[in-house]
Amino acid sequence: MTSHTDHIRTQLIEFCATIGKNPLLVQGAGGNVSWKNKDTLWIKASGTWLAEANQRDIFVPVNLQPLQQAIQQNDFSVTPQLVGTYELKPSIETLLHALMPQPIVVHLHAIEILAQLVRANCENTLKTVIDHSISWILVDYHKPGQELANAIHEELIRKPNVQVVFMRNHGVVIGASSIQEITAILTLLTSALQVPVSQSINAQHAMISKRTEYTPIQDDSLHELAIDPHLFDRLAHDWALYPDHVVFLGPQAHTYSNWQQFDADVSANSHDKPELIFIRDEGVFVMPSFQVAKQVQLRCYLDVLKRQSIDTTLISLTHSQIAELLNWDAEKYRMHLLRETAQ
Ligand SMILES: [Zn+2]
């Protein structure tokens, strides 16, 4: 490895560790980063956390040329081949990174950007506020993996060499030739799309679970989801806003007017008790199995909702989009990894 590629690697590891610790940019194992070095694409491994980039090796090398050839032939079913033996698998978004022409590619679910991309009118906002020095496209929602890569590839044929790909109900991809350029674009986007955050309603009482199998969620700010009536309404109508939220937290929110309604629902349906429940005016409660990776996803959701006005129309994923996400093998693998690391 030359000193130049060493330098890029060092810079990128530092970049990943920094953004990985900012919950407004990265949530848990979400987001991924890659760089291209001749015939090799170095890509974040599935299930690893960007925040851990300077503590463990989160990148794996894959053969770039076969991927690019497959993409040219519109074959998005190609499986990325690792260069060497690794226990980790390359990110499920490897094709997306391979098809971007720039040497460095960063994909994030940055809150200020995501909060716009779940809105019905996001295209108008992007046209109005994004600096003309940036070339960008907006793509509709597609299932992450093959379908998303295919859709972005088609858009890039029409408009090659864009620096920024906005993905509705998902996040952003930024391509550039240097980490400085990536940082500059990311800063520009997040500040241009920033909106005021709604004031917090603090709980007036200590959170007490009234059922032994549940405890109050540890991140106190999350109780606002049950205490603010507007946020509580969003739980029912605007839950499935983007893929990671559904994959980690399930297809719908389990909301109850009170504990009695929760009891009635559990005995009527005799299903497994949900791991995460929202009791109106009481708080958010979880079972002990509820992991930190899920809690950071719920924090992401709160951060997205707190950037919406009461009357903002949001677009949720459809039932079929939710179903295809939950039956997805690659995501099951990711969840499997998650369970393993939690043990
Ligand atoms: Zn993503």
Q: Read out DSSP for 83-135?
A: SS--SSPBPTTHHHHHHS-SSEEEEE--HHHHHHHTBTTHHHHHHHHS-TTS-
And the tokens for 51? 């925040």
Q: Could you give the CA distance from residue 13 to residue 9 in angstroms, rounded to a whole number?
A: 6
Which residues, listed in sequence order, are joined to residue 82 by a DSSP beta bridge? 62
Q: If you measure from the C-alpha of residue 53 to the centroid of ligand 1, how many angstroms do you get, rounded to a whole number?
A: 18
Q: If you measure from the C-alpha of residue 91 to the centroid of ligand 1, how many angstroms do you get, rounded to a whole number?
A: 10
Q: If you measure from the C-alpha of residue 335 to the centroid of ligand 1, how many angstroms do you get, rounded to a whole number?
A: 15
Q: Per residue of the chain (343 residues), what is the pLDDT tens digit?
A: 567 778 889 999 999 999 999 999 999 889 999 999 999 999 999 999 999 999 999 999 999 999 999 999 999 999 999 999 999 999 999 999 999 999 999 999 999 999 999 999 999 999 999 989 999 999 999 999 999 999 999 999 999 989 999 999 999 999 999 999 999 999 999 999 999 898 887 766 667 888 889 999 999 999 999 999 999 999 999 999 999 999 999 989 999 999 999 999 888 876 678 999 999 999 999 999 999 999 999 999 999 999 999 999 999 999 889 888 887 555 554 554 555 444 3
Q: If you measure from the C-alpha of residue 211 to the centroid of ligand 1, how many angstroms do you get, rounded to a whole number?
A: 36
Residue 232 phi, psi dihedral angles, 5° rounding: -60, -40
What is the sign of the dihedral through the CA atoms of 265, 269, 273 and 276? negative
The CATH class, in words, for 3-193 is alpha beta
pLDDT per residue as tens digits for the range 15-41: 999 999 999 999 988 999 999 999 999
* Per-domain residue ranges of the chain: 3-193, 215-342
219: burial class by Cβ within 10 Å (0-12, 13-18, 19+)? middle
Q: If you measure from the C-alpha of residue 142 to the centroid of ligand 1, how many angstroms do you get, rounded to a whole number?
A: 11
Task: Give the number of other CB atoms < 10 A from CB of residue 273.
Answer: 14
Q: If you measure from the C-alpha of residue 226 to the centroid of ligand 1, how many angstroms do you get, rounded to a whole number?
A: 27
Q: If you measure from the C-alpha of residue 31 to the centroid of ligand 1, how many angstroms do you get, rounded to a whole number?
A: 5
Q: If you measure from the C-alpha of residue 127 to the centroid of ligand 1, how many angstroms do you get, rounded to a whole number?
A: 22
Tell me if 293 sits within 8 A of 338, measured CB to CB: yes
